[in-house]
Chains A and B, each alone.
Chain A
């Protein structure tokens, strides 16, 4: 004796948010039933365990059916469906991801190889394997679709996947990181959260990519502006020209004096720090060095500052004056490139410098 078939179809789909989350989190039907029972939903509505099981199975089936639609959400808007608002809601949840998980795969190739490692990641992050797979597939799906599209990255993602602005930005960051294969997994970078990286990605996308100057090129928001990277080499003059370096230092020190407790350290380290930043700029023409961009930032700038116990305010002060002082240098002709470079570096470092 068994229920062979059990379906419930509404003219508008009824979706239980709690069950949906359990499904997204990769719970099996039986586990989900357990969780729900513990949640006390039964007492609330005088139902039996059978009813709960039936409802959970039904919900899971509904989600599985919706999943197809969620994979190509652009179709949703056209579907003669009464569930459009509901599907949109479920879409956000479906494309939502765990920061812990994304942190693990950020910048990695979205290849089969990485997919095989998902069980390790699952074990490490505590996110269920099913959920890991879904998130991984979501990244890959979004990556594939926007890869070939013209126009602004965030906008493309938003239109094709009907995602919220915030989620679309996060996905843009993931796509950007994946495309440029930024190294994020090193131990030294472990302290950074996904949101830190996402912020930096936004900065890079807005200022350093092709799209920052021309908004009708393919991959405009994904690839860095080659010409700009080339121009960055010119900045080397700031550290190779001794006069310029000294002049720069004195300008900065004059401005900083008396405004911070860490002044001495700043003064002592100026040349080192400046070399670090300018070298990063100069090397960005190499793909390899692009990948190491974040690690370089940490090693060459953030770590020395941190060992000198700079506060975040110190950092802000220093970088502001460091950037601005370069403008006063008579012999320094690359103001535009400098601003474009330092603008991003400044905001990235602010974000990455945790106390």
Chain B
């Protein structure tokens, strides 16, 4: 069905001088959509041309509207020679296709050239008239809303969460096409930009189709990524969570409630009533008519009125092809590894494709596939949830797999590259199947891990890749969880009818901590205790998750950023050897990262990690691992024990002394951290005299006593240690295995490790940092925000580096980066760096690149100090000590097996013998008996499966636990939620409604304001403090390439990248402003690939950013400010007089 796209070119300004003779420019504009091009008149001799063109009208399919960007090219007219391009603007039409989003795009867009950067601006008006298409067989999905935000967006309420949607599209990378050798860098860059824009459009459309099929109307937590695979192509893939969202009218009372409290807001949308009794009104409505699962029958061919989707009349631009999971899925079911499946599926798929040239069959297949898919992968990309949604959290599940890109080809077509060059379109047509199979495999693995943890769903799910030459590491991770089925579409989750876990409602502040797995049949050995909060159910001693801290969770003190950093050298190799080497290294890296995380967590006296993100990047001669998370002390979980240092040779006196010193340093650090993060676990008697007077005499200060065990019973293994000096704990000791986390110093490496543990400097006074949306323990944000992106590249000059040396360099790099942020942002104190998102890469052999995007937010210090007063109060009513049902032997077994690889591996790579590997496998067997083994590194012709070792490590981490603590049974009656709400209201009243200055210098400049320019705020978070989002305008997803051949003149790589990032910001702001918006939320920089060749004075950089464009108003304002509603010339025109 057609739609009509109208565009009008109004004017340009500040164009560059294109004619040296006159110092002027004869500019005209080409407007292109699909294959239709219009031109404006030439505006002679002006740097500020007024074209005021007619409306250019494009009559196109709505499918094209979704896929294609509007391309605007500004050129300099030249009578005698070819016209010179000044630059381009790509406008994504998608926001106009949604009735609720923007209605017109109008504004000044920076004219961008891949060689020169921004060169002036152009004023454009774009409108779309869409004729509603009700054809069931359409290929378009106009109207499906997309959100990058990984929670239910403000001003919406989720009527239904349908589940996981994914899609990927593959194409040849123009940069690697033969034609690239003869065309200019500019043409090549533009081809690439345009192609990616097309592919993202197509991907979004296809995802949209899937959502429509599921009965949803929106995708939340939309995560789109590019894999630049080089020779083998370009993959654009996306995952998201399909939902049915209802708009909440902005005037409604609950809505305003939501916004007054940024802390609770990410999760709660329309309803703030306590989730215990208020679940029904939020999500309870069943919408059987609109959201029932599409039956395969419905999609079966009944009519043939629609045009075939793959008709040859398609514009030739549509070179990319997509995947159909359903097809690749069928032969795969029941198979442990996907390698052979992919191979078999190949010819079959080709066959299928030939047969499914008509829309109808295609349709039928995909719809049944969808159903399967949703059932197959109960994954949710959301990281924070409406109250009551999340029932229990099991732990982190992750999977990694190493693949050889080189090997992807379709056996049916042979593998000659020349063939590809001749007709690569037909070759690439089958690639997505291979990629799909890869991801399919990983998702299966994730799913089985979740099952092993007794969970039926995975939340906070994300996928990523790291590519170096022909090797690619695919990673996926998430948090195994049990969700409340009543919010889910039927059939979305596999829930046994016998499931008892939903029966007894747990208090929201601790319920999610309760173990989802069966305590008698645990997937891994862990120390369980009764919840310190409600005393009714079991909790693990440590909890790792990839999600944000649930807003209703009870937390003690503040949180902090915890990072584990690791470098591993690797021999340079090619092909399979390389892939094998990498896949052998992976499990050790994950293990060490987790050990580091665990140690650092203990060092901070915390017991849970949120927002855990582990990135492993592959380079030619090394692997980099970076794990970031936000540590907190969950009140419901037991207090962590200390860290115990053990020496291998107890006889050695000097050694003994050394160990004592280290032990002292560790103890001091723990004590200091406790104070720093205000971790004062509730003192049971002190806070609750009622209980004190009550029955229970045995209320010990288990969690309060010195967390540092006496170095009395030094032992090599995780053995028991007494942990506090008072007699009561002596009693506890009798119950056997108690805590104490032992670090063994048996070689220099271990010493180094411990030193590195202690080198992490705490943030300076007044600063906090976290990688989650908001900082646990800070509730009173003021409105000062500063979003920033920082990139650092470090060159390793020393060729003979050791792993330890590398580790130190890498750690210093990250630490210094953080220190720089603190220093730069010192004028914002007190403030918190939120959503610190680190991305590491190894762009070249001796380079380490770290890119960070984060936001600094100010908060009210006074109130922050008041906060601890309203800590949840635990009422322990009875003491019931139980011994966990773990055979000691198994535990010892496991721990010995665990320590083995760590001590051996930490030294050199060469130690990674098959024996070590075997040991790994055994470990896996012990921990996850239910997980299908796929570690065999077999070399198959079509697609080699290098075994996704991965994930094991993720579950290992649960192994590395502090043992022990007595178990208490008790009941908790917390009123924290209501308290914090009340508190937030008061905090709002107190905080100034005016956006405070970001820095001192800004503040001083505020008095000056000749003409006002709309400031477009940007934040990686889903909200802005003190500001209410009133409308979502659509997704911003932009891809830019910048290249230079005059690197020195542009200030070197730093100057080049600095101005490029600044330009990207400016372009994002301009596009948001043109949509009528004034802020970008959930902003992220997905990709920042920098290639440099200083010798040739050249550099190239690719940046991909995304976010949600929104209109927001200050909390106090009822209406959007004038400049916002006036969509005409919002952003850039200087409104004189307005302030």
Contacts and interface: CB of A to CB of B under 8 A. Distances in A.
Interface of A: 1-12, 14-17, 44-48, 50-52, 54-55, 57-58, 61-62, 64-65, 75, 77-82, 84-86, 88-89, 162
B1001 A7 contact: no
A8 B798 contact: no
Contacts of A46: 764-765, 822
B983 interface: no
Contacts of B1132: 78-80
B1018 interface: yes
A12 B823 contact: no
A15 B764 CA distance: 21
Contacts of A52: 823
B790 A7 contact: yes
Given A55-B823, A61-B1058, A85-B1008, A78 B1065 contact: no
Contact of A61 (B825, B1006, B1016, B1051): B1051
B1010 A77 contact: yes
B4 interface: no
A7 B791 contact: yes
A80 B1066 contact: yes
Contacts of B1134: 77-78
Q: Which of A55, A62, A81 has the most CB of B within 10 A?
A: A81
B796 A1 contact: yes
Interface in B815-847: 816, 819-827, 847
A82 B1004 contact: no
Interface string B1113-1139: 000000000000000000111100000
A8 B764 contact: no
A62 B1062 CA distance: 10
Contacts of A48: 816, 819
* B contacts with A: majority SS: mixed
Interface string B991-1006: 0000000111110111
B1009 interface: yes
A1 B121 contact: no
Interface of B: 13-14, 108, 110, 121, 764-765, 786-798, 809, 816, 819-827, 847, 849, 998-1002, 1004-1006, 1008-1013, 1015-1018, 1051-1055, 1057-1059, 1061-1062, 1065-1066, 1069-1070, 1073, 1090, 1131-1134
A304 B1023 CA distance: 75
29 contacts: A1-B798, A2-B794, A4-B1053, A5-B792, A5-B793, A7-B790, A7-B1057, A7-B1061, A9-B790, A11-B1017, A12-B786, A12-B998, A12-B1015, A14-B827, A44-B826, A47-B822, A51-B823, A52-B823, A77-B1010, A78-B14, A78-B1132, A78-B1134, A80-B121, A80-B1070, A80-B1073, A80-B1131, A82-B1016, A85-B1006, A85-B1008
A6 B1011 contact: no
Contacts of A80: 108, 110, 121, 1013, 1016, 1066, 1069-1070, 1073, 1131-1132
A22 B1055 CA distance: 20
A54 B791 CA distance: 12
A88 B764 contact: no
Contacts of A14: 786, 824-825, 827, 998-999, 1001
B824 A8 contact: yes
B788 A3 contact: no
A1 B787 contact: no
A3 B793 contact: yes
Nearest to A3: B794
Given A7-B790, A12-B1002, A14-B999, 8 more contacts: A1-B798, A3-B795, A5-B792, A7-B791, A8-B790, A9-B1062, A81-B1069, A86-B1002
Contacts of A54: 816, 820
Q: Which of A50, A80, A81, A82 has the most CB of B within 10 A?
A: A80
Contacts of B847: 4
A5 B1134 CA distance: 36
Contacts of A88: 1005, 1008, 1010
B576 to A, nearest CB: 32
Given A11-B787, A61-B1055, A82-B1069, A1 B819 contact: no
Nearest to B1004: A89
Given A61-B1051, A77-B1010, A81-B1066, A51 B819 contact: yes
Given A47-B822, A77-B1011, A1 B795 contact: yes
A149 B798 CA distance: 60
Given A47-B819, A88-B1010, A9 B824 contact: no
A15 B786 CA distance: 13
Contacts of B1006: 85
A6 B817 CA distance: 9
Given A11-B786, A14-B824, A50 B816 contact: yes
Nearest to B1083: A11
A47 B826 CA distance: 10
A65 B1058 contact: yes
Q: Which of A4, A17, A47, A77 has the most CB of B within 10 A?
A: A4
B794 A1 contact: yes
Nearest to B1009: A85
A7 B1062 CA distance: 10
A86 B1062 contact: no
A51 B764 CA distance: 13
Contacts of A77: 1010-1011, 1013, 1134
A48 B759 CA distance: 14
Contacts of A58: 824, 1058
B820 A55 contact: yes
Contact of A55 (B824, B849, B1090, B1131): B824
Contacts of B1069: 80-82
B1001 A11 contact: no
B114 to A, nearest CB: 19
Given A52-B823, A80-B110, A89-B1004, A11 B1065 contact: yes
